[in-house]
Amino acid sequence: MKVLILGSGSVGTLVAHDLSRDFEVWVVDKDESRLKKTEKIAKVLKLDLSKTEILDEVFKGFDVVVNALPGFLGFRILKKAIDLRRDLVDVSFMPEDPLSLDNEARQQEVRIVVDAGFAPGLSNVLLGYIHSKLGVLDEGIINVGGLPKEPRPPLYHQVLFSPQDLIDEYLRPARCIVNGKLTSKDPLEIIEEVRIKNFTFERFPTDGLRTLLSTIRAKNLVEYTLRWPGHLTRMKLLKELGFFGREFMESTMKLIIPAMTYDSPDFSVMEVYGRSGEEEMRFFMYDEFREGFSSMSRVTGYMTALITRLTLKNYVEPGVNPPEYLGMKDKTFRFIVDEIIKRNVVLEAY
């Protein structure tokens, strides 16, 4: 079977490594230097995919397409996949609502999984499983973060993905459900300390629930992002002083991004909790930098690869599927858990 991966960044490369063991993999990117990193494990094609009209030819002959390109291209590629009747696994985290295309995908009998990464992604799968077992949740909480193992002052954090996306987490209102109603919170209004296993972090609400806001029945539902103590108070001060305003953003980025760019192995941690009445369930995940891949690339890319495998096995229904649907079915949930543990990621109920 043939898999086409759009994008050869850190996530696309990890997906190619995983899937090339069992499938014929092609990788497309406009950056020749990045493509060279995958030449030994996949066939490569240099193309600028911002011109989506060329996808009509590119998609031909593949059983499934994996989109690991930036989010601004995600919705356009999703629509193109439906038009061309090509199954798609998307990890672009598009800003648009992908569920709005569910009916079109069903009519075309195209199987699509969106937000197929870490968070959203694995977090959705775990919460979907909890919801399937407990029913309507009184409380659902996701705590998740990617952090440096050796944080350095003055900001005690490390840039692990797009710098602009990092800053956006501190600016974008965090949608959540409070007392059964959809609401939005200022992400840095309240900074809380939280203890997870042997770690002590600070956390703040972030806008990562996405499809969970409409697929999970819950009275209270929130996602928190984790940081080392000290980082968030500094970000809050910069925000209050106006340094993240449009007119100052460029100079602010030039000042703070170098302070968060340094060599340190990273790690990823996640806790997903659900409670209904007296019943509760909780999952814990932990991973570290390994075999030349950052932990963030590993946990994101492995989830994308595993969901692609499920799609190729015909375990995904036609339509636009958020990852929580996979968690709601015992067979697909167990496949994901078993396989991600085989890849040396710690995942356990406790």
Q: What is the pLDDT of residues 307-341, one digit of tens each?
A: 999 999 999 999 999 999 999 999 999 999 999 99
Residue 344's domain comprises 2-117+299-349
213 and 325 inside one domain: no
pLDDT at 52 over 90: no
Q: What is the pLDDT of residues 90-130, one digit of tens each?
A: 999 999 999 999 999 999 999 999 999 999 999 999 999 99
Number of domains in the chain: 2
Residue 57: left if φ>0, alpha if ψ -120 to 50, beta else—which one? alpha
Q: Counting beta carbons within 10 angstroms of the beta carbon of residue 22, is it exposed (0 to 12), middle (13 to 18) or buried (19 or more)?
A: exposed
Contact by Cβ (8 Å): 109, 102: no
Percent of all residues in the chain with a pLDDT value above 90, rounded to a whole number: 92
Q: Which of 295, 317, 333 is the last residue of a domain?
A: 295
155 and 285 inside one domain: yes
111 and 7 inside one domain: yes
- Radius of gyration of the CA atoms of the chain, in A: 20
257 and 111 inside one domain: no
d(CA 183, CA 175): 6
Q: Counting beta carbons within 10 angstroms of the beta carbon of residue 285, is it exposed (0 to 12), middle (13 to 18) or buried (19 or more)?
A: buried
Q: What is the pLDDT of residues 122-174, one digit of tens each?
A: 999 999 999 999 999 999 999 999 999 999 999 999 998 778 888 999 999 99
217 and 171 inside one domain: yes
The predicted pLDDT at position 228 comes to 98
d(CA 216, CA 329): 14
237 and 322 inside one domain: no
Helix orientation angle between 163-171 and 249-256, rounded to the nearest 10 degrees: 120
Q: How far apart are the first and last CA of the chain?
A: 38
Would the pTM count as exceeding 0.75? yes
Q: What is the helix (H) or strand (E) element at residue 103, kind and residue range?
A: helix 102-107
70 and 105 inside one domain: yes
111 and 257 inside one domain: no
The predicted pLDDT at position 165 comes to 84
The CATH number of residue 193's host domain is 3.30.360.10
